[in-house]
Amino acid sequence: MPYVDRQNRICGFLDIEENENSGKFLRRYFILDTQQGSLVWFMDNPQNLPIGADCVGSLKLTYISKVSDATKQRPKAEFCFVINAGMRKFFLQANDQQDLVDWVNALNKATKITVPKSSESQQNSENQKILPDVVGPKKQVSYRTDIIGGVPIITQTQHEGGDGANRSEREALQRSHSQLPYFLGRPAQEQSVIKSGYCVKQGAVMRNWKRRYFLLEENAMSYFKSDLEKEPLRMIPLKEVHKVQECKQSDIMMRDNLFEVVTTSRTFYIQADSPVEMHSWIKAISGAIVAQRGPGRSAATMRQARRLSNPCIQRYTSRIGECSGTLLQLCTCLRCVTSCLSLLFPPVRCLD
């Protein structure tokens, strides 16, 4: 679902058909910026991209005439809606029905035509005159402009960095295919899987943020490089997790939708794609921990139960039980001997 970031912009992941009538939808991170009057999309969340990374595509809100449900136009594309911009139609896929409704309403609301005041228009024209003198030299980045039905559509065609940028774009393109809702990269998941999906995790050594595929099962939470990998990068046993909560240091780290998984050896900082996803992960992990330990059982009681379940301790306690039974039998035999002796040798009274 879309969410509002720290700059009061509506953000979230959507799948877009960048090449018209191609039928191929690519995963992109969209930002609806009403202050700048544009809808832009990136390969990933700009917080996870290199500083100064440019957008993949952009569209001026003034060119958008209508945003509506496109389920009938694209019956094979689930949760699909269309942005009408002149003669061009942009088809996008939402994550679910509620996500579709929220995006359609937000875009239609942002594209309502409003007439600015005369003072504001004069100030904007003055700012545009001053801007070229203030702004320094820009990076050399090539764009492609398509004029379709009188509407200019700007699309970036080349990044700086040559082969490195192209390689990163190919990797992001491969990741985008793995994130499609109808793409089954991993084999059929077992019934023990509670929740799965992509999140951004902070590294332990370099403290950098990387997108990983997380898999929550009954006894552990694992994360992979992608959903195509079979071997996890790391597995976190739920018995080592002390608590899962929304991160209190999100303001310091400048990260939205951040939560932490605290274990005995390390604290994992994980960023979800939206506030709803963050709370969903926290609830799922906490529920799995409670289901594993049982209601009302803390980590201390679980350690005590595991200690008592040790085979060595079980043998020790069983021997104590055997010894106590042997002592009881011996005491019973002594009572029988004493009663027999009292019958054979009655007590003798002394005569005065």
pLDDT tens figures, 72-96: 888 888 899 999 887 788 999 998 9
- Distance between CA atoms of residues 40 and 44, nearest Å: 12
Whole-angstrom CA distances from 153 to 18, 40, 63 are: 11, 12, 9
SS (H, E, C) the chain: CCEECCCCCEEEEEEECCCCCCCCCEEEEEEEECCCCEEEEECCCHHHCCCCCCCCEEEEHHHCCEEEECCCCCCCCCCEEEEEECCEEEEEECCCHHHHHHHHHHHHHHCCCCCCCHHHHHHHHHHHHHHHHHCCCCCCCEEEEEEECCEEEEEEEECCCCHHHHHHHHHHHHHHHHCCCCCCCCCCCCCCCCEEEEEEEECCCCCCEEEEEEEECCCEEEEECCCCCCCCCEEEEHHHEEEEEECCCHHHHCCCCEEEEEECCCEEEEECCCHHHHHHHHHHHHHHHHHHHCCCCCHHHHHHHHHHCCHHHHHHHHHHHHHHHHHHHHHHHHHHHHHHHHHHCCCCCCCC
Section 223-249 average pLDDT: 90
Say which residue, 5 or 190, is predicted with more confidence.
5
Say which residue, 163 or 51, is predicted with more confidence.
51
Section 52-77 average pLDDT: 87
Q: Nearest Cα to 210, choosing from 198, 222, 221, 220?
A: 198
Question: Identity (one letter) of the amino acid at 135?
Answer: V
Say which residue, 141 or 198, is predicted with more confidence.
198
Confidence band (pLDDT; 50, 70, 90) for 309?
A: very low
Section 47-74 average pLDDT: 87
Confidence band (pLDDT; 50, 70, 90) for 337?
A: low
**pLDDT beyond 90 at 174:** no
Section 196-221 average pLDDT: 88
| pLDDT score for 209 | 82
Confidence band (pLDDT; 50, 70, 90) for 124?
A: low
Section 249-275 average pLDDT: 84
**pLDDT beyond 80 at 323:** no
Confidence band (pLDDT; 50, 70, 90) for 319?
A: low
**pLDDT beyond 50 at 111:** yes
| pLDDT score for 210 | 86
* Segment 150-159, tens digit of pLDDT: 556 666 665 4
| pLDDT score for 116 | 42
Say which residue, 53 or 304, is predicted with more confidence.
53
Q: What is the CATH number of domain 193-292?
A: 2.30.29.30
| pLDDT score for 182 | 34
Torsion, Cα of 308, 311, 316, 317 (10° steps): 50
| pLDDT score for 260 | 93
Query: For the chain, what percent of residues have pLDDT higher than 90?
Result: 28
Section 19-42 average pLDDT: 90
| pLDDT score for 164 | 52
| pLDDT score for 177 | 43
Both tokens assigned to 32: 């609806």
| pLDDT score for 13 | 94
pTM of the complete model: 0.44
Range list for CATH 2.30.29.30 in the chain: 3-112, 193-292
Q: What is the CATH number of domain 3-112?
A: 2.30.29.30
**pLDDT beyond 60 at 117:** no
**pLDDT beyond 50 at 259:** yes
Average pLDDT, the chain: 75
